[in-house]
Chain A
Amino acid sequence: MDGATAARKPRRRTAHRLVPYAFLAPAIVMFTLFLLAPIGYTGYLSLRKVKVEGLGLGRGSRREIFAGLENYRQTLADTELWRGALRVLGYGAILTPVMLGLALLFALLLDSRRTGFRRFSRISIFLPFAVPVVIASLLWGFLYLPSVSPGQHLLRSAGLPEMDLLGPDLIVFALANIGVWGGVGFNMIVIYTALRAIPRELYESARIDGCSEFQIAVRIKIPLVVPAMIMTTVFSVIATLQVFSEPVTLRPMTNSLSSTWSPLMKIYQDAFARNDIFTAAATSIVVAAVTLVLSFGFLRAVQRRAFAGESQ
């Protein structure tokens, strides 16, 4: 190292040390303003309430005061929230296994040597991913309407009784179908990608040992895509807990969906229809906490593997 570089070095060093912080500044500012601040402010609001003095008329009669955990007690004691949670659980119990089962089936079929129309099918099944949830719900909503639905046309012409897909008994299946339709392609590609990563030689030796294509799928392929299946399951559970757009879009077409059908709809209702942002804040924190607890353990487990090759 010659003298000139040595002399220049200290100044460059300091500047260089600040560079990563300068580069991260925009992200940190945005992250703080639109993620941390809303969470913090919601936490603060969840501990507040409005106290009405006198008749509640005139200025200064409504004061915001510290409420402690009262909002939480109230929200956890609210049976409608629990009923909503149960409805969403039922919806998820239909949606997740059906969607992921179909995704796995289609991924295996795409990966099989004996299937035709693979390119066409892969693109077609992934296509709903490009359709926004609201538009998807709107299209399916019309297809469910007795006067529009193709199934009802067929039932009518066969002289069979019509099924009201938007009725109280079937509405949860109608909603789950929208989720399956929108999500099966994305999950299929995730699993298919995991399948493509399996070395082909494994299949060759299995074939030599006399395994059928079906046995190869069950004994080799499925066990090896279990990690991908776990990931898609967790993402799907998180998504179902937050279901909002599908039931809200179907509401104008049916009487079977209440305005507090899912927990998120209940929060919306509290915040905007009842103007009780304090309870809504407490419920938001509870829903977010449940979601976080569910996903955190999972991501910790996979994070180690994801960054194993990169020094921390």
Chain B
Amino acid sequence: MSTVLVKQPATRDSIEVTAPPRRRTAFTPTAILVLGAVYCLLPVTWVLIASTKSNADLFNTFTFAPGGALFDNVAGLSTYRGGIFWRWMANTALYAGLGALLSAALSGLTGYTLAKFRFPGRTVIFNVLLAGVLVPGIALAIPQYLVMAKFGLTDSYLSVLLPSIISPYGMYLARIYAAAAVPDSLIEAARTDGAGELRIFWRVAVPVMRPGLLTIFLFQFVAIWNNFLLPYIMLGDDRKFPVTVGLYSMLNLGNTLPALYTFVITGALLSILPLIALFLSLQRYWRVDLVAGAVKA
């Protein structure tokens, strides 16, 4: 013990004395990392370039040689079947935006309640929710379809929106976040002041939990946008499609109508631009550490 106490300041001194200048950047590790970055940017770069190509150029010029048809492609896509592409984009914003908003709200309230109240049945409810995390979400889409079909709700906006709201993982995260971020003393103080419980949640807990809730919103937004199977089986009317299912249906038609390929590519570009913008502008809220935090070593 005493040796450690003596040794530590000594080591620190010696480091300060010899303080090595910031290490030079090494070539090989940097090259490997940049190569990884290039690999990840490759398809995104390609779609930027490919959407400038006409249909003939697409299959006949070098992969990364740009063309001059971007505006023609966007215009063509926008008029395809009365501009249905933009309807798909609006649908996606509705499914993912509203779905994630409701999901974050529900997760926040549930997580806060599970973290901050002591009541009979709490452990049971939490364990059932936790089991829900383990239920494979994608495999659930067909069972959800069967129930929706029973109630005649398939092929409606609600059939995609409602199942997207429930997120056991979001609730699980919100509980962890609420337990860590909302001090009991703050809740007690508000109670002593006579504030109602709903008001305490809204005025005291939500502001403190906001970064965590925004993270849940973003991850649920991506999850809904990513969930292809659910809208694919629920919807028959292509006017209700999200953009993923819409572009897939166009790709399928491409076999007989090759002219659609450039529209599909231009559509793919336009559909990921908002997501990339959201991703870059809200970078600090993509808290993977929070998502992974449940199992931090």
Contacts and interface: CB of A to CB of B under 8 A. Distances in A.
Interface of A: 16-17, 19-21, 23-24, 26-28, 30-31, 33-35, 37-39, 41-42, 45, 102, 105-106, 109-110, 112-118, 120-121, 123-136, 138-140, 142-143, 145, 147-150, 153, 181, 184-186, 189-190, 193-194, 197, 204-205, 208, 224-228, 231, 238, 241-242, 244-245, 248-249, 252-253, 264, 267-268, 271-272, 277, 280-281, 284, 287-288, 291-292, 295-296, 299, 302-303, 305-306, 310, 312
Interface stretch (B66-74, B76-84, B118-126, B209-217): B118-126
A158 B147 CA distance: 57
B113 A291 contact: no
A121 B197 contact: no
B1 interface: no
29 contacts: A19-B117, A23-B112, A26-B106, A26-B109, A27-B110, A33-B162, A34-B162, A34-B166, A42-B146, A105-B36, A114-B23, A117-B34, A120-B34, A125-B37, A127-B44, A130-B279, A133-B228, A138-B251, A139-B43, A140-B43, A142-B50, A185-B40, A194-B297, A204-B11, A224-B297, A249-B251, A264-B139, A280-B142, A312-B123
A253 B251 CA distance: 9
A302 B46 CA distance: 41
Residue of A125, A197, A241, A296 with highest tally of chain B CB at under 10 A:
A125
Nearest to A208: B11
Nearest to B197: A19
A191 to B, nearest CB: 9
A153 B139 contact: no
Given A42-B146, A252-B255, A284-B139, A306 B132 contact: no
B290 to A, nearest CB: 9
A184 to B, nearest CB: 7
Interface in B219-263: 222, 225-226, 228-229, 233, 244-245, 247-248, 251-252, 254-255, 261
A123 to B, nearest CB: 7
B59 A23 contact: no
Contacts of A193: 288-289, 292, 296
Nearest to B245: A134
A134 B171 contact: no
B200 to A, nearest CB: 10
Given A23-B113, A249-B251, A277-B146, A134 B228 contact: yes
A225 B295 CA distance: 11
A204 B16 CA distance: 12
Contact of B119 (A17, A114, A277): A17
A121 B146 contact: no
Contacts of B136: 238, 241-242, 287-288, 291-292
Given A34-B163, A194-B297, A228-B292, 14 more contacts: A26-B109, A27-B110, A42-B146, A45-B146, A109-B30, A124-B38, A128-B44, A150-B63, A227-B295, A253-B251, A264-B229, A268-B142, A296-B134, A310-B115
A133 B297 contact: no
Given A23-B109, A31-B129, A249 B248 contact: yes
B119 A38 contact: no
Contact of A299 (B29, B114, B134, B283): B134
Contacts of A253: 251
Given A143-B43, A143-B63, A41 B150 contact: yes
B179 interface: yes
Interface of B: 11, 15, 22-26, 29-30, 32-34, 36-44, 46-47, 50, 58-60, 62-64, 106, 109-110, 112-115, 117, 119, 122-123, 125, 128-130, 132-136, 138-140, 142-147, 150, 162-163, 165-166, 168, 171, 176, 179, 197, 201, 222, 225-226, 228-229, 233, 244-245, 247-248, 251-252, 254-255, 261, 264-265, 268, 271-272, 275-276, 278-280, 283, 286, 288-289, 291-292, 294-297
A116 B30 contact: yes
A117 B59 contact: no
A70 B129 CA distance: 31
Contact of B44 (A131, A226, A296): A131
Given A147-B60, A150-B62, A244-B138, A139 B268 contact: yes
Residue of A30, A33, A117 with highest tally of chain B CB at under 10 A:
A30
A19 B114 CA distance: 12
A11 B201 CA distance: 21
A26 to B, nearest CB: 6
A241 B136 CA distance: 10
Contacts of A28: 125
